[in-house]
Structure 1
Amino acid sequence: MTAAAASAAPVMRLVRLIHISRPVLWINTIGTGLVGIWLTGRLFDLQALPVILWLTLPFNLLIYGVNDVYDQETDALNPRKGSIEGARIEPREVRTIAWSVAVVNLPFLVYFLVALPPAAVAVMLLYAGVFVFYSAPPLRFKTRPFLDSLSNAAYALPLLFVPLALGATPVWPALAGLLAWSVAKHAFDAVQDVEEDREAGIATTAVRLGPRGTAVWSGAWWLVSTGLFAVVSLPVAAVNLAIAGALVVRLLRRPTPATGHRLYPLSVAFPYIAGSVAGAPLTFGIVMGLYP
């Protein structure tokens, strides 16, 4: 190995780890954490900075790194993997991923145990544990129909542990709405992988219900989330209903995994759009002093 190649190797390893962490999906963790801050009536709080930093590469490498380690068989069959939608790892990378997950997460865990209220830390451990055991045995929620979808409600938990970390009261309708929204989105996104999961013997909610049944399942949960969001913000509820309705109707019209794959970019954009609609009036109100 040349000197130039040796000096570039750490950078390439970091780039690889970032790819494994699926940065296009970081919005699901960072965005929820920021909304959790805004819902306390603050534009930002330095006390929350370590939590937001944890919700970037460290936490996403934890959940998606573990996922890739245990899904090597199905990922090998999945044409989406190896792209921006997710990595396709090699067996020789497992050790590196495991060590990297530990190195970037353990310092945060130590800090949180010392600096944050016990209730916040307990919810954060639950948050991490659910996603680890979504992929890892013995629980491996991914292979359990309905539990796979329901377990992804955990994506909403920053709306609980961020306020707890700041000594504030969570906005319960927003939390409940995002719990329901996350259940719907997980099942909907899994439609595109029905054939690969079925071939690998993995019985997800989407495999069990099929594309049409999954559209109904997700649509019902998105309706619940719309009602709960309406308690907090009518514009957010309206945008949620519009995008969810478009996704569900298009899948019902042509209920196939291929349709699920074509709709995936809109599904990925969904939290960006809804988050912008939620965040703009919140930040405006905070800046203008409309919130205590």
Structure 2
Amino acid sequence: MATLRHLLKLSRPRFWLYLAGPVVVGVAFAAERPEELFVPEALTLFAYFLLPANVLLYGVNDIFDADVDAANPKKDEKEVRYRGDRTVVAAVVVSGLLGLATFALTPSVAWPWLVGFFLLGVEYSAPPLRFKTTPFLDSLSNGLYILPGVAAYATVAGANPPLAAVVGGWLWTMGMHTFSAIPDIDPDREAGIQTTATYLGETRTYWYCALTWLLAAVAFGTLDLRLGALMLAYPVAVFGITRSDIDVERAYWWYPVLNTAVGMLLTLGGLLEVVYG
């Protein structure tokens, strides 16, 4: 039980919907009939990206960040540190193998997006590329979070989603990643890790996040003005944080709530189209 609790905590339950949520949104907008919402392929993708994919993503991160995380205070309570446990390595390998099985269940149009997820998900933390240690590449590579949703859309619709939706989603993930790196600025600098946040500093990182989220809103607005208006919640939130006394480390843990609310509204919008056309 202790091992299971450790693996669950490693998988960051608070952030599970960061991968599984885009699957729900993608399926909602891809489906043309209610029964397409629950096709086995879509349900399988949701199940995989809810837990095994998070074990893979964050397990690789913790394994290759063991030295860096030694000085990171958020590992003391909300997350866990990797201490050479072979069970963690085994869980990561099994999660990766389960991910390979998704290729057998999905059409070929979804495969490039799945390949992109696994490549970026591993190489974000692992050598030789280790994107997380290169300013701006760390941010850009976090488009990986939107790829499960794109793959799900392609699986259900049999075609790729609109390019503006992919661009908007990618920009959204860039902002989310860089915002999450703000609380790690001091620990990363102490460990000698270069990120977009350490390069820009806290104040300019806020503006970088606001810009990427504003551009995401513009991209989604080209598809539907209501989508663009909804995405404005993110730059507005940044403005509110910078103009208040809210500690960014506290605000960081609120963002899953904001993301869940926005994702729910997006999903409801897609479902209304399915039901009422």
- Alignment TM-score, normalising by the size of structure 2: 0.90
- Contact kept? 2:217, 2:229, Cα under 8 Å: yes
Other-structure match for 2:175 = 184
The alpha-carbon deviation at position 108 of structure 1 amounts to 4.1
**Aligned residues of 1:149 and 1:186 also touching (Cα < 8 A):** yes
Counterparts of 2:211 and 2:181, CA distance in 1: 16
Tell me the SS of whatever aligns to 1:87.
coil
Deviation above 6 Å: which 4+ runs of structure 1?
none
Residues 88, 173 of structure 1: alpha-carbon distance in 2 compared, 3 angstrom cutoff: same
Alpha carbon RMSD of aligned pairs, Å? Answer: 2.0
Look up the match of 1:214: 205
- Find out whether 1:118 has 2:112 as its counterpart: no
Question: Aligned residue for 1:37?
Answer: 27
- Does the alignment pair 1:54 with 2:48? yes
Match of 1:283 in 2: 271
Structure 1 position 253, deviation (Å): 6.4
Over residues 216-237 of structure 1, what are the superposed CA-to-partner deviations in whole Å (9 max), with x where a residue is unaligned? Answer: 1111111110111223343442
2:95 and 2:250 map into 1 onto residues whose CA distance is 34
Displacement of 1:143 in angstroms is 0.7
Correspondence list, 1:28-107, <5 A: 28-41=18-31, 42-84=36-78, 86-91=79-84, 93=85, 95-107=86-98
Letter in 2 for 1:140: R
Q: Which has the higher contact order (CA 8 A, sep 6+)?
A: 2
The equivalent of 1:274 in structure 2 is: 262
AA matched with 1:271: N
Give the partner amino acid of 2:213.
Answer: W
* 1:115-170 deviation digits (Å, cap 9, x = unpaired): 32234223212211101111111111111011001110121112321122231341
Whether the 8 Å CA contact 1:63–1:131 is kept in 2: the answer is yes
* Range with bigger deviation, 144-153 or 73-82: 73-82
Contact 1:77 1:196 in 2 (8 A): yes
What SS does the corresponding residue of 2:122 show, helix, strand or coil? helix
Shift of 1:249: 4.6
1:165-180 mapped onto 2 (5 Å cutoff): 165-166=155-156, 167-180=158-171
8 Å Cα contact 1:67/1:135 also seen in 2: yes
Query: What one-letter code is carried by the residue in structure 2 that aligns with 1:51?
Result: L
Contact 1:251 1:259 in 2 (8 A): no
Q: Which residue of 2 aligns with 1:8?
A: none
Alignment: residue pair count: 272
Q: Secondary structure at the match of 1:43?
A: helix
Determine the structure 1 residue equivalent to 2:250. Answer: 262
Q: For the Cα contact (< 8 Å) 2:185–2:198, is it kept in 1?
A: yes
Equivalent residue number for residue 247 of structure 1: 238
Q: Can you give the 5+ residue segments of structure 2 that lack an aligned partner in the other structure?
A: none
Aligned counterpart, 2:121? 131
- 8 Å contact kept, 1:160–1:175: yes
Distance in 2, matches of 1:194 and 1:108, equals 32
Match of 1:23 in 2: 13
